[in-house]
Amino acid sequence: MLDIKVEMTKTPKELPSADNPLKFGTIFTDHMFIMNYEEGKGWINPRVVPYQPISLEPSAMVFHYGQEMFEGLKAYKTEDGRTLLFRPNKNAERTNRTNRRICIPEIPIEDFVQAVKTVVKIDEAWIPTKPGTSLYIRPFIIATDPFLGVRPSHSYMFMIILSPVGPYYPEGLNPVKIWIEDEYVRAVKGGIGEAKTGGNYVASLRSQVKAHDEGYSQVMWLDGVDRKYIEEVGAMNIFFKINGTLITPLLTGSILPGVTRDSVIQVCKEWGLAVEERRISIDEIYEAYQNGTLEEVFGTGTAAVISPVGGLRWGDQIMQVQDGGIGPVSQKLYDTLTGIQLGRIEDTHNWTVEV
Amino acid sequence: MLDIKVEMTKTPKELPSADNPLKFGTIFTDHMFIMNYEEGKGWINPRVVPYQPISLEPSAMVFHYGQEMFEGLKAYKTEDGRTLLFRPNKNAERTNRTNRRICIPEIPIEDFVQAVKTVVKIDEAWIPTKPGTSLYIRPFIIATDPFLGVRPSHSYMFMIILSPVGPYYPEGLNPVKIWIEDEYVRAVKGGIGEAKTGGNYVASLRSQVKAHDEGYSQVMWLDGVDRKYIEEVGAMNIFFKINGTLITPLLTGSILPGVTRDSVIQVCKEWGLAVEERRISIDEIYEAYQNGTLEEVFGTGTAAVISPVGGLRWGDQIMQVQDGGIGPVSQKLYDTLTGIQLGRIEDTHNWTVEV
């Protein structure tokens, strides 16, 4: 149990007007959580302080060797005024999986969750209530040793910042078009692909720019070895419904183990849908498209929850899915998961945690 | 030509005593160079200011998505008191190659070199003069947009910090033992391996810790696809002398294009040595070791210049090279390159640049 000191802001900001649509990740609340790590002392000095800039040495290792990790989860306001988190333990577990891969000291799961709950509670008034809105929670860790040699840092900062966000798609659930990348690679088995660390995101930027220029909103990655097995999409995991079966790539080490991905697999199995976690090649997708069995494609992630895919572009081939619209499984999953998150649907899995 | 404003420190630090051995990357000089990038304005406000912490929003993109790059080069003091840089244009060119890969705006080569020269000149008194010492120069760029969406930042800071450093090996040229990594992968073709960005270094930490625990000072990486072709070593490129021929891995996109690597290839060709840039597998190395034709192995990099390799460990196999000592080509290259860098040997390539 952390002994979290709290310093409240003396200059609270104005809450965003409910009339203006919230953009993703641009507005931050009044407070943030910080905890330091020092070798020999462990994680120390947990505190909530006013949201403010941080000061670091120019030689801080995070600026040079990318030793940094982050998580993303959301807090929702229910109609009866409760604040719910969705499976925060999974983010805490994944934090430690990332940390092990990139040599950052682990954080006890209960401390992680306590820290999230504490800062969310303090800035609870910032949780927006319009349909589709939520409070995005961004825990992250950076390496702070002022040292230019390459080795794991001996000191770190763990921080949690909060940002009220609107619906991922302003008009609600909206199919996206996806560009299948066959030149660049995001990650490879044996690398850091399954860790939630900056290096995987910086690797994606150039493809993302190319895809945007071509009118596609996301990039689908193929594996780095055979260059044909589907890995993941931008900031999402990906599912294909082919001939009645839901297929999603197996977690082989280069794919982020998504919390929404895991939830979707559980829910669909309970619905009696056949779900396969296995390697699936772009050729298999294209074959299913050609013979008319590619029924649905959707992405899963914290930001959009479920993101129906209306079209895929692979080289010169354009595959339209569900006539570019929203498939029934995508819609039902979106309604179910957001229903649980907002406390409208009974939470039979004990996924939600009240703040 | 940059119009660089200079603000001199009012509280200069004490120069490190010539009696104490300098460690790598722990002491920094009195000043640093900063230049900002803003979309629509380009690179603006170039300045030299007192070395000091930097203040960033917790949401600055560098902390989350790893959009950061760095370079490394050195300034040397010659016996007649001149200050020399070694091929700074190559670092400027590589900066822009990195920047293109990770969507950071390019910096004109002459501006990069001017910035390096300016700040080195101001802190010239910090360049140590003992044998084997130098002033390590660390240019780096970080993404500063306060935004949690994944896209290239619209604002950046380019900084140059300086650190007086001792000889990489306190006792002079000293053979290292290298661990060949067959579980983890540093980079893969199509990824960011050839870019000098944090993501490649964070990916290396876990293997490095494992190798150190086993008594090895560096890790040798195999390729991410076939898991058998040599890529590079820790912070160095790698050369093998087999049966009279010098072989170094071809730059296929996942290997850092080292400035010292390039210089070694040129010098050896001029000496009449056969030099091959090609794919070379660990099996070929092991076969050469077994039949007695593995004559020398050495790494090349800015930090150590030439680093002789005395032993390689590959799974259960231990290969000793040059009876664990320094080979004649390694020694001659070290003497030649450091001789040029220190102005003791005629610089027929125009590699050195006077500050």
Question: Residue B19's pLDDT is what?
Answer: 79
Question: Residue A202's pLDDT is what?
Answer: 96
Please state the φ and ψ torsions of residue B333, each to the nearest 5 degrees.
-65, -45
Q: Which among A142, A150, A161 has the least Cβ separation from residue B201?
A: A150
- Confidence class of residue A170 from pLDDT cuts 50, 70 and 90? low
Q: What is the mean pLDDT of residues A81-88?
A: 97
Which residues 6+ apart lie within 8 Å of A63 measured at CB? Answer: A56, B62, B68, B70, B140, B142, B198
Q: Which among A63, A150, A224 has the least Cβ separation from residue B188?
A: A224
Question: Residue B66's pLDDT is what?
Answer: 98
- Helix spans in A160-241 (H): 198-202, 205-213
Q: Are residues B88 and B227 in the same domain?
A: no
3-state DSSP call for residue A292? Answer: coil
Mean residue pLDDT of chain B comes to 95
- Confidence class of residue A187 from pLDDT cuts 50, 70 and 90? very high
Question: Residue A166's pLDDT is what?
Answer: 87
Question: Residue A273's pLDDT is what?
Answer: 97
Q: Are residues A122 and A184 in the same domain?
A: no
Question: Residue B17's pLDDT is what?
Answer: 86
Bridge pairing between strands B176-181 and A176-181: unpaired
Q: What is the mean pLDDT of residues A325-354?
A: 96
Residue A348 lies in a domain: no
Residue B204 lies in a domain: yes
Q: Are residues B180 and B134 in the same domain?
A: no
Task: Give B231: exposed, middle or buried? Use CB within 10 Å, 0-12, 13-18, 19+.
Answer: buried
Q: Are residues A244 and A161 in the same domain?
A: no
**Any B CB within 8 A of A138 CB:** yes
Calculate the dihedral angle through the C-alpha atoms of B73, B77, B79, B84, rounding to the nearest 10 degrees. Answer: 60
Question: Residue A171's pLDDT is what?
Answer: 61
Question: Residue B25's pLDDT is what?
Answer: 87
Sort out which chain B residues have CB atoms less than 8 A from A146's CB and list them. 26, 28
Instruction: Pick the range with the lowest mean pLDDT from A225-229, A336-340, B166-170, B274-278.
Output: B166-170
**Any A CB within 8 A of B213 CB:** no
pLDDT of B171 over the 70 cut: no
Mean residue pLDDT of chain A comes to 95
CB A182 within 8 A of CB A315: yes
Instruction: Tell me how far apart the alpha carbons of residues B290 and B73 are, in angstroms, rounded to a whole number.
Output: 37
pLDDT of B170 over the 80 cut: no
| Domain limit, last residue, from A117, A145, A165 | A165
Q: Which among A63, A159, A202 has the least Cβ separation from residue B140?
A: A63
B59-104 pLDDT per residue, tens: 999 999 999 999 999 999 999 999 999 999 999 999 999 999 999 9
pLDDT of A317 over the 90 cut: yes
Q: Are residues B102 and B192 in the same domain?
A: no
Q: What is the mean pLDDT of residues A227-237?
A: 93
| Nearest partner of B116 among B157, B73, B145, B149, judged by Cα | B73
Q: What is the mean pLDDT of residues B337-354?
A: 96
**Any A CB within 8 A of B57 CB:** yes
- Helix, strand, coil percentages (3-state) for chain A, rounded to 5, are 25, 30, 45
- Confidence class of residue A5 from pLDDT cuts 50, 70 and 90? very high
- Confidence class of residue B132 from pLDDT cuts 50, 70 and 90? confident
Is A64's CB within 8 Å of B59's CB?
Answer: no
| Nearest partner of A35 among A73, A70, A2, judged by Cα | A2
| Domain limit, last residue, from B113, B132, B165 | B165
Q: What is the mean pLDDT of residues B329-344?
A: 95
Q: Are residues B188 and B323 in the same domain?
A: yes
Question: Residue B33's pLDDT is what?
Answer: 98
Residue B25 lies in a domain: yes
Residue A347 lies in a domain: no
Sort out which chain A residues have CB atoms less than 8 A from B51's CB and list them. 58
Instruction: Tell me how far apart the alpha carbons of residues A340 and A333 are, in angstroms, rounded to a whole number.
Output: 11
Structural domain span for residue A183: 176-341
Question: Residue A22's pLDDT is what?
Answer: 85
Q: Are residues A271 and A319 in the same domain?
A: yes
**Any B CB within 8 A of A54 CB:** yes
CA nearest A141 in B: which residue?
B63
Which residues 6+ apart lie within 8 Å of A305 measured at CB? Answer: A168, A260, A334, A337, A338, A341
Q: Are residues B180 and B222 in the same domain?
A: yes
Sort out which chain A residues have CB atoms less than 8 A from B62's CB and list them. 62-63, 198
pLDDT of A249 over the 70 cut: yes
Domain count, chain B: 2
| Residue A169, amino acid | Y
Which residues 6+ apart lie within 8 Å of B103 measured at CB? Answer: A205, A206, A209, B67, B152
Residue B351 lies in a domain: no
Q: What is the mean pLDDT of residues B135-147?
A: 98
Residue A70 lies in a domain: yes
Q: Are residues B225 and B252 in the same domain?
A: yes
**Any B CB within 8 A of A163 CB:** yes
Q: Which residues of A315-341 are buried (b: 16+ CB within 10 A; e: fewer)?
A: eeeebebbeeebbebbbebbebbbebb
Q: What is the CATH number of the domain that holds B54?
A: 3.30.470.10
Q: Which among B32, B63, B152 has the least Cβ separation from residue A205?
A: B152
Question: Residue B185's pLDDT is what?
Answer: 94
Q: What is the mean pLDDT of residues A343-353?
A: 96
Q: How close does chain B come to A263, measured CA to CA in Å?
A: 23
Contact map slice: B 24-43 vs A, CB within 8 A: 24-26, 28, 32
Q: What is the mean pLDDT of residues A128-145?
A: 95
pLDDT of B331 over the 80 cut: yes
**Any B CB within 8 A of A21 CB:** no
Please state the φ and ψ torsions of residue B258, each to the nearest 5 degrees.
-70, 145
Q: Are residues A202 and A109 in the same domain?
A: no
CB pairs under 8 A between A and B: 228
Residue B32 lies in a domain: yes
Q: Are residues A98 and A228 in the same domain?
A: no
Sort out which chain A residues have CB atoms less than 8 A from B225's CB and list them. 188, 224-225
Question: Residue B200's pLDDT is what?
Answer: 95
B228-279 pLDDT per residue, tens: 999 999 889 999 999 999 999 999 899 999 999 999 999 999 999 999 999 9
What ipTM describes this predicted complex?
A: 0.96
Sort out which chain A residues have CB atoms less than 8 A from B159's CB and list them. 58
Question: Residue B169's pLDDT is what?
Answer: 67
Q: Are residues A135 and A212 in the same domain?
A: no
**Any B CB within 8 A of A183 CB:** yes
| Domain limit, last residue, from B146, B165, B184 | B165
Which secondary-structure segment (H or E) carries A306? strand A305-314
pLDDT of B172 over the 70 cut: no
CA nearest B153 in A: which residue?
A205
Q: What is the CATH number of the domain that holds B204?
A: 3.20.10.10
Q: How close does chain B come to A167, measured CA to CA in Å?
A: 14
Residue A355 lies in a domain: no
pLDDT of B131 over the 90 cut: no
- Selected for mutation to probe chain A from B148, B213, B216 (highest A CB count within 10 Å) is B148
Which secondary-structure segment (H or E) carries B50? strand B42-50
The percent of residues above 90 in pLDDT, for chain A, comes to 92
Sort out which chain A residues have CB atoms less than 8 A from B166's CB and list them. none
Handedness of CA B208, B211, B217, B222 (dihedral sign): negative
The tokens for A316 are: 């010169």
Question: Residue A281's pLDDT is what?
Answer: 98
pLDDT of B311 over the 90 cut: yes
